[in-house]
């Protein structure tokens, strides 16, 4: 990997504008690497390289051959597991064991999509006599991928992995705050034998390289993961060229705990769903809705668990790492100061470890109780380790609260009542519902995406391949 360079056409290329910027280690707030500051000219080059690959060596491969190359990439990622984990931990601040899990998930994405590449096909359709009609699933062509900083490896893997398996050539604009692992994997892809231009990475700021990619007339599809505001901008830019967009925009995901639930099973899942990645997870379980009869006892147990949490630098492998940046830290502080101003009670808070440098971006996990449903802490994505607890009266009340935000990404339901599990799962407006678990351990195989302001389109699983293809209908009249 060469820092401060883009990866275009299987070569490391200096930024067209000659500018670079610093990469900050969130654990100590200090710069430790540099990235190329991409602009429209770099994006032009990357899109042209991708088009050449699509029209040339990459596009000429059979689905089985694409799958074989992706499998070789999966093996290389697996062989570099620890190196990638260390890089991701330093770059994002996430605890080492989380970064290791992310590196394993990245290899698994390439493995899964390697196996899926030659299992994607069209159908033969019954039609009038004298015709044979069939559909062909074709790649879009050149796909753009705008990736956030919270899970650089995983989100890159799920998005580019599926797009490549379907036969597209990719241009990826990872986040300016964290993307060293993505550059490293691009190098591994070339070593694995991906033809030049099949996978291109242009680093840089969103309003420069990101916007240049979203509005580029040479791309055929764009996949975006990040904030709703930027998602709207990306959609508007892509609309200029009528380019289809897949959006994954985060959430305010509820965990609904009924009084009959197994609290011993629920408790660790409630904590990890908001503490994982310091709450900077699109599917973070950031609201806990508790049936009133169980509210105080469960809140007591949650408070004890939160008080025991330790926040520290990534290499110390703490319960919770720092936030990604000073900007993100300020955003979380603004939410917490609103809570204080509006007299929302703090039920518990974890502690920052003594070895955490003062210059790092730390925020102790915080449990807030009795958050009013209309308050921004109950409705907006904090993207930090802040859990809002709300009581509910009955099933209808729980569903009104759960569905009562602009978002609809993930929901957790904790109850032993089987009929209630099914009723509630059906009535939740959410892209995923987990019953008596939260997240099912990641689930590369499980389609993922939102409704409402959480976005549209599905990533992960086989379903993602449909989004990265277009259907062509062929009708033959033979009499
Ligand atoms: P963002 O949405 O602005 O950034 C995500 C990606 O979009 C980055 O690669 C960025 O460079 C790119 N981008 C930014 N502006 C762009 C533009 N005008 N055109 C094209 N691409 C652009 O998010 P952020 O500023 O890093 O974080 C702000 C908030 O967004 C966070 O506090 C959090 O609430 C939310 N967020 C959500 C997710 C998620 O996974 N759902 C990820 C990151 C951030």
Q: Does some domain include residue 450?
A: no
The b/e string for 265-300 (b: 16+ C-beta within 10 A; e otherwise) is: ebbebbbbbbbbbbbbbbbbbbbbbbbeebbeebbe
Digit-coded pLDDT (tens) for 195-252: 999 999 999 999 999 999 999 999 999 999 999 999 999 999 999 999 999 999 999 9
Residue 389 token pair: 């607890």
What CA–CA distances, in Å, run from 267 to 287, 345, 414?
Answer: 13, 20, 10
Mean confidence (pLDDT) of the chain: 98
Both 207 and 259 in one domain: the answer is: no
Q: Does some domain include residue 447?
A: no
Both 408 and 277 in one domain: the answer is: yes
Digit-coded pLDDT (tens) for 392-422: 999 999 999 999 999 999 999 999 999 999 9
The predicted structure's pLDDT at residue 208: 98
Closest ligand 1 atom number to CA of residue 204: 11
Both 138 and 262 in one domain: the answer is: no
Both 354 and 227 in one domain: the answer is: no
Rounded Cα distance between 335 and 377, Å, is 7
Digit-coded pLDDT (tens) for 375-390: 999 999 999 999 999 9
CATH number at residue 303: 3.40.309.10
Both 243 and 260 in one domain: the answer is: no
- In this structure, the residues whose C-beta lies within 6 A of any atom of ligand 1 are 146-150, 173, 175-176, 205-207, 210-211, 214, 225-227, 230, 233-234, 249-250, 282, 328, 331, 381, 383
Tell which residue, 225, 249, 207, has the closest CA to residue 381.
249
Element (H, E) at 463: helix 463-467
Q: Ligand 1 mean position to 323 CA, how many Å?
A: 15
Rounded Cα distance between 459 and 449, Å, is 6
Residue 330 token pair: 């300020």
Q: Does some domain include residue 451?
A: no
Both 143 and 12 in one domain: the answer is: yes
Both 372 and 425 in one domain: the answer is: yes
Report the nearest-CA residue for atom 19 of ligand 1: 211
What's the pTM? 0.97
Report the nearest-CA residue for atom 12 of ligand 1: 206
Q: Which DSSP category does 315 fall into?
A: G
**Worst-scoring range by mean pLDDT, 1-10, 125-134, 304-313?**
1-10
Domain count, the chain: 2
Q: Does some domain include residue 449?
A: no
Q: Ligand 1 mean position to 99 CA, how many Å?
A: 20
Given pLDDT bands bounded at 50, 70 and 90, which one contains residue 187? very high
Q: What angle, rounded to 10 degrees, do the helices at 263-275 and 292-307 form?
A: 50
Report the nearest-CA residue for atom 30 of ligand 1: 227
> 68 pLDDT exceeds 80?
yes
Q: Does some domain include residue 132?
A: yes
> 441 pLDDT exceeds 90?
no
Rounded Cα distance between 392 and 370, Å, is 10
Catalytic residues: 248
The predicted structure's pLDDT at residue 442: 87
CB-based contacts of 22: which residues, under 8 Å, 6+ apart? 31, 33, 34, 35
Q: Ligand 1 mean position to 148 CA, how many Å?
A: 6
Q: Ligand 1 mean position to 111 CA, how many Å?
A: 28
Both 33 and 107 in one domain: the answer is: yes
Both 13 and 107 in one domain: the answer is: yes
The predicted structure's pLDDT at residue 230: 98
> Ligand 1, from 94, 147, 227, 243: best to mutate by most atoms within 8 Å of Cβ?
227
Rounded Cα distance between 196 and 180, Å, is 20
Report the nearest-CA residue for atom 41 of ligand 1: 250
CB 424 within 8 A of CB 414: no
CB-based contacts of 283: which residues, under 8 Å, 6+ apart? 251, 253, 409, 410, 432, 439, 448
> 335 pLDDT exceeds 90?
yes
Closest ligand 1 atom number to CA of residue 324: 26
Given pLDDT bands bounded at 50, 70 and 90, which one contains residue 2? low
Rounded Cα distance between 33 and 21, Å, is 9
> 174 pLDDT exceeds 80?
yes
Residue 35 backbone phi and psi in degrees, to 5? -125, 155
Report the nearest-CA residue for atom 13 of ligand 1: 206
* Half-sphere CA count of 215, side-chain side, radius 13 A: 15
Rounded Cα distance between 308 and 288, Å, is 19
Q: Ligand 1 mean position to 36 CA, how many Å?
A: 18
Both 360 and 269 in one domain: the answer is: yes
> 33 pLDDT exceeds 70?
yes
The predicted structure's pLDDT at residue 386: 98
Mean pLDDT, to the nearest integer, of 67-85? 98
Closest ligand 1 atom number to CA of residue 381: 34
Both 188 and 141 in one domain: the answer is: yes
CB 178 within 8 A of CB 91: yes
- 176: containing domain: 2-249+456-475
Q: Which DSSP category does 320 fall into?
A: B
Both 403 and 464 in one domain: the answer is: no
CATH number at residue 98: 3.40.605.10
């Amino acid at each position: 990997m060469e820092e401060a360079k883009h990866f275009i056409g299987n070569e490391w290329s200096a930024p067209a504008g000659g500018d670079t910027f610093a990469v900050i280690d969130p654990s100590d707030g200090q710069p430790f690497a540099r990235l190329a500051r991409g602009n429209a000219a770099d994006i032009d080059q990357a899109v042209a390289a991708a088009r050449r690959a699509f029209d040339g060596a990459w596009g000429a491969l059979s689905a089985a051959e694409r799958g074989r190359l992706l499998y070789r990439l999966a093996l290389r990622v697996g062989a570099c597991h620890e190196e990638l984990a260390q890089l991701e931990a330093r770059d994002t601040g996430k605890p080492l064991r989380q970064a290791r899990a992310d590196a394993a998930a990245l290899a698994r994405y390439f493995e899964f999509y390697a196996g899926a590449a030659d299992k994607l096909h069209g159908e033969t359709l019954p039609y009038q006599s004298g015709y044979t009609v069939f559909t062909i699933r074709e790649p879009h062509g050149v796909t753009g991928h705008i990736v956030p900083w919270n899970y650089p490896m995983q989100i890159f893997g799920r998005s580019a992995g599926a797009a490549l398996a379907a036969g597209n050539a990719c241009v990826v604009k990872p986040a300016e705050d964290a993307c060293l692992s993505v550059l490293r994997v691009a190098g591994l892809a070339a070593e694995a034998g991906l033809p030049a231009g099949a996978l291109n990475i242009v680093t840089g700021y969103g309003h420069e390289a990101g916007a240049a990619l979203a509005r580029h007339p040479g791309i055929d599809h764009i996949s975006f993961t990040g904030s709703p505001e930027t998602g709207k901008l990306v959609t508007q830019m892509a609309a200029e060229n009528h380019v289809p967009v897949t959006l994954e925009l985060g959430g305010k995901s509820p965990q609904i705990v009924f009084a009959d639930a197994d609290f011993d099973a629920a408790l660790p899942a409630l904590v990890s769903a908001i503490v994982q990645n310091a709450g900077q997870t699109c599917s973070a379980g950031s609201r806990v809705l508790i049936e009133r009869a169980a509210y105080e006892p469960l809140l007591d147990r949650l408070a004890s668990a939160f008080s025991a949490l330790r926040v520290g630098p990534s290499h110390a492998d703490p319960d919770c790492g720092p936030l990604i940046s000073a900007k993100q830290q300020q955003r979380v502080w603004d939410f917490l100061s609103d809570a204080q101003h509006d007299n929302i009670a703090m039920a518990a808070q974890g502690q920052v470890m003594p070895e955490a440098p003062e210059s790092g971006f730390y925020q102790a996990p915080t449990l807030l109780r009795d958050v009013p449903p209309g308050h921004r802490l109950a409705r907006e994505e904090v993207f930090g380790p802040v859990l809002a607890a709300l009581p509910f009266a009955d099933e209808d009340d729980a569903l009104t609260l759960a569905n009562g935000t602009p978002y609809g990404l993930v929901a957790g339901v904790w109850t032993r009542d089987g009929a209630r599990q099914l009723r509630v799962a059906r009535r939740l407006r959410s892209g995923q519902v987990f019953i008596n678990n939260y997240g099912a351990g990641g689930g590369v195989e499980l389609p993922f995406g939102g409704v409402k302001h959480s976005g549209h389109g599905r990533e992960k699983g086989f379903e993602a391949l449909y989004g990265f293809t277009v259907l062509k209908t062929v009708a033959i009249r033979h009499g």
